Amino acid sequence: MSIAMPDLRYHRPATLEEAVDLKRAADEAVYLSGGHTLLPAVKAGLAAPTALIDLRAIPQLGAGVSVSDGMLRISAATTHAAVAASALVLEHIPVLAALAGSIGDVQVRNWGTLGGSLANNDPAADYPAAALALGATIITDRRRCPAEAFFDGLYTTCLEDDEIVVEVSFPVPLSAGYAKFRNPASGFAMAAVFVAQLAGDAVRCAVTGAGDDGVFRWKEAEEALGRDFSAAALDGLEPDASAMLADLHAEPDYRAHLVAVMARRAVSSMGRLTLHG
């Protein structure tokens, strides 16, 4: 017998309205998507829901990938494997497909979802960096939220208690690159940098795995790259070490160094994902 789960109810609503009603009806109800973060947390006693509300049968969350007006739209329950294999994602933002294909492992990518990853906002998750650097809009059951306002610190977002991520709209960039230094044991980013060249000469650079407040934009690097889009333009720049995570894997100084190296590698490998560590 494996680790005991607490007694709970499982619901699989067919509409957004039904899901929200179920959430409001129970004190400790939690939305479930792929579950590959949530269910281990429940087993570990870190969460004790009395009900799990599985969102994956709701049609809007399972709509898949589409492109219109320069925006790549991906519905929230799309798995990492589906994003990695999507012909539309590969055509319009190839590095986003590669990023999705670098999350976890094959089995995890078959269940983990875009919406679940964003709503969880793990400080070492990959999707938040892409959403923030590309200037994505997170579309919920009640509003449109720019990525800038969506992420709100470690494991925290601006989502209301019963709000549901329905879709994410990514502006198609001129080019984008992602460099990730992986923890050799977990595979999660110890520092990863997503660099995007957007229409109108804007350059955005988002960092995951390293910040002590979760994903962040590295504005100094953006300004330097805006003047001269080259890896050399970042020479001598490092993010402030006092804002970096400290854990047994890496001290803040080392993480700041890794961020600088990953940023240069992302700029040198635009259009691609590069993995390090």
Partner 1 sequence: MSTLTVTVNGTARTLDVEDRTMLADLLREQLQLTGTHVGCDTSQCGACTVLINGVPAKSCTILAAAVDGAGIVTIEGLADGDRLHPVQKAFREHHALQCGFCTPGMIMMGVDIIARHGSGLTEQTVREELEGNLCRCTGYQNIVSAILAAARQGATS
Distances from the Cα of 130 to the Cαs of 172, 193, 242, 256, in angstroms?
11, 9, 24, 19
The answer to whether 242 contacts partner 1 (rule: CB under 8 A) is no
Segment near partner 1 (CB under 8 A), from 5-13, 18-26, 163-171, 256-264? 5-13
Tell which positions 163-222 bind partner 1, by CB under 8 A.
187
The answer to whether 108 contacts partner 1 (rule: CB under 8 A) is yes
Q: How many CA atoms lie within 13 A of 269 on its CB side?
A: 20
Binders of partner 1: how many residues, by CB under 8 A? Answer: 28
For partner 1, which residue of 27, 44, 200, 201 counts as binding (CB under 8 A)?
44
The answer to whether 241 contacts partner 1 (rule: CB under 8 A) is no
Tokens of 24: 């409001």
Helix (H, G, I), strand (E, B) or coil at 156: coil
Q: How far is the CB of 95 from partner 1 (least distance, A)?
A: 18
For partner 1, which residue of 106, 184, 227, 236 counts as binding (CB under 8 A)?
106
Distances from the Cα of 30 to the Cαs of 33, 128, 163, 193, in angstroms?
10, 21, 11, 31
The answer to whether 8 contacts partner 1 (rule: CB under 8 A) is yes
Q: How far is the CB of 208 from partner 1 (least distance, A)?
A: 20
Are 80 and 112 in contact, with CB atoms under 8 Å apart? yes
For partner 1, which residue of 10, 27, 184, 227 counts as binding (CB under 8 A)?
10
Draw the binding track, 123-162, toward partner 1 (x: CB under 8 A; -: no contact): ----------------------------------------
Q: How far is the CB of 22 from partner 1 (least distance, A)?
A: 13
The answer to whether 249 contacts partner 1 (rule: CB under 8 A) is no
Distances from the Cα of 137 to the Cαs of 18, 130, 143, 188, in angstroms?
24, 11, 10, 24
Rg of the chain over Cα atoms, rounded to whole angstroms, equals 18
For partner 1, which residue of 18, 47, 54, 71 counts as binding (CB under 8 A)?
54
In whole angstroms, give the CA distance from residue 260 to residue 192.
10
Are 266 and 218 in contact, with CB atoms under 8 Å apart? no
Tokens of 237: 């720049």
Sign of CA dihedral 224, 225, 230, 231: positive
Residues near partner 1 (CB under 8 A) are 1-3, 5-10, 12, 35-36, 39-40, 43-44, 52, 54, 56, 81, 104-108, 110-111, 187
